[in-house]
Structure 1
Amino acid sequence: MAKAIPEKCKKCAMLSAAQAQELHGKQGDGCWNPQVCYSRRSYARHRDRHNLIRSRKRNQASPELTVNLAEFTDIFWAVLVVYRRSGTDMPIHAIASEVWKGQEKFGAIPPIHCAGMTASQVHSYVQKMLVLLETNYKIKKFASQERLDPWLCPLRPCPCHPSFPS
């Protein structure tokens, strides 16, 4: 690893050569060395730009790797969509599922409100969704779970939607 530029030299690099010689030359602290200081000051001033150019050249030199996605386009997977406020003990407002084929949305199990359902009833409904997904698409479990705020619930009427009568 390269030795870091001393902080004193970084500050000196921001001065003009005349100011630097006056401050660090014979009348100053005596650290000015014409054999080293000119190139060190230039390096300190321009190192960010030189490093950026060098990095871009390295990135261009390495070939871009691609993965053949054709073999993954026929894979079905599902996402469990849970509408609930953020927090640890917040009740579930609604629950749904999305089915994906490759990188495109293929279908969905529409949401239902969970108001009045116990935790075991919600778990039972999720298991019924998994049975349906396994029989139709060979999906044994959800690939992920997505939490959305209840105000995004698409069901109407909905207690979280402003048009709900009070």
Structure 2
Amino acid sequence: MPKPLNTKCQLCAKLPTAKAKVLHGTEGDGCWNPRVCHNRRSFYRSRTEEKSGIDSITVEPPATYFAVLYLYKEPGEKPLHALGAELWLGQKPICRLSPIHCFGLTSGKIRAYTDQVLQAFAREYGVSLYQYKDMFEISPIHCPVRPCPLNPEL
């Protein structure tokens, strides 16, 4: 019986190599292996090309509002470096909170701030938002706030 296909590798094969290395390399989840991944990505790409003879349809997904929170922090019980948020309508982001540094903010102040962001999204677009649909942890190395102690400007 053949080995089942790895969903993670299937999704990774669709990404450009540089982006795949960032997501799955030492800064990401650590699963990138240069001796294996190039061949595996090629295998998964050619496999999806073989199936291109199958008809497909597109059905527009329902457009609902939801908010996501981006936390820039090291894995584990490390302090929060920065945070940002987005409001989405269906498959597209429609409003973005520019990320801020969280230096000196207590967990209570961070929680109050994230609640204020939800309320601002809800007020601006006339929708009900009670919580974030998802939270994504991103390495602080990718912090977009400038100036940033992790990315000093020379």
**Higher radius of gyration, 1 or 2:** 1
In structure 2, the gaps of 5 or more residues are: 1-50
- Is the contact made by 1:134 and 1:140 (CA closer than 8 Å) also made in structure 2? no
TM superposition shift of 1:136: 2.2
Structure 1 residue 94 displacement after superposition: 0.5
Pairwise CA distance, 1:65:
8.6
TM-score by length of 2: 0.58
Q: 1:140 to 1:76 in 2, by over 3 A?
A: same
User: What amino acid is the match of 1:128?
Assistant: Q
Which one-letter code corresponds to 1:105 in the other structure?
A: P
2:147 is matched with 157
Alignment RMSD (CA, Å): 2.2
Q: In structure 1, list runs of 5 or more residues that go unmatched.
A: 1-59
Q: Which residue of 2 aligns with 1:86?
A: 75
Q: How many pairs were matched up? A: 100
Mapped to 1, the partners of 2:95 and 2:105 lie a distance apart of: 25
Partner of 1:15: none
1:132 maps onto 2:120 in alignment: yes
Code of the aligned partner of 1:147: E
Percent same amino acid at aligned positions? 29
Distance in 1 separating the partners of 2:69 and 2:57: 30
2: CA distance between counterparts of 1:133 and 1:107? 8
Shift of 1:82: 0.6
The CA deviation at 1:66 is 6.2
Is the 2:67–2:118 contact (alpha carbons within 8 Å) kept by the matching residues of 1? no
- Post-superposition, which runs of at least 4 consecutive aligned residues in structure 1 deviate over 3 A? 63-68
Q: Which residue of 2 aligns with 1:99?
A: 87
Q: 1:69 aligns with which of 60, 66, 72?
A: 60
- Does the 8 A contact of 1:80 with 1:95 survive in 2? yes
Does the CA-based 8 Å contact 1:133-1:140 persist in structure 2? no
Amino acid at match of 2:86: E
Shift of 1:140: 2.4
